[in-house]
Amino acid sequence: MDLAALTDRFEIDDLITRYATAVDSRDWELFRSCFVDDATIDYTTAGGVAGTVTDIADWLEQTLTAFTLSVHYVSNREVTLEGDAARGWLAYYNPNTLADGSVLMSGGHYRDEYVRTAGGWRFAKRATEGNWLKHLP
């Protein structure tokens, strides 16, 4: 792997982390900045919705009010570079604390498509798959 490929991998890794930080900190401007304008997002296999970046940001903003804390752990990152595009398959684990102290945990995989822009790497597509959900009192 050459230096340019390593740099691309680090920048995509930073993008993935920035996405998780945006969702967990409820920073919807940061969330939107992770995607190209015409990106599509599909969280339906995780019980969510599919739509545009604005649709999903609005849905997350409403939905996540049920949680006092949420954390996204993203691991097992498989990224394939294809010039100015890339594909990723990542595992995630997402514990969320509810107001009553119970925990709603979910996990699964993200299937991603990334694109290099003038502002750096961005998501062109993100979808969840192979998800599980567990509520602990």
- Indicate whether this model's pTM tops 0.85: yes
Of all residues in the chain, what percent carry a pLDDT higher than 70? 100
- Neighbouring-strand partners of residue 117: 120
| pLDDT higher than threshold 90 for residue 32 | yes
Dump the DSSP string for 2-23.
Answer: -HHHHHHHHHHHHHHHHHHHHH
* Each residue's pLDDT tens digit, 66-121: 999 999 999 999 999 999 999 999 999 999 999 999 999 999 999 999 999 999 99
Per-residue pLDDT at 18: 99
Q: Is the pLDDT of residue 1 over 90?
A: no
Classify domain 3-136 at the CATH topology level.
Nuclear Transport Factor 2; Chain: A, (3.10.450)
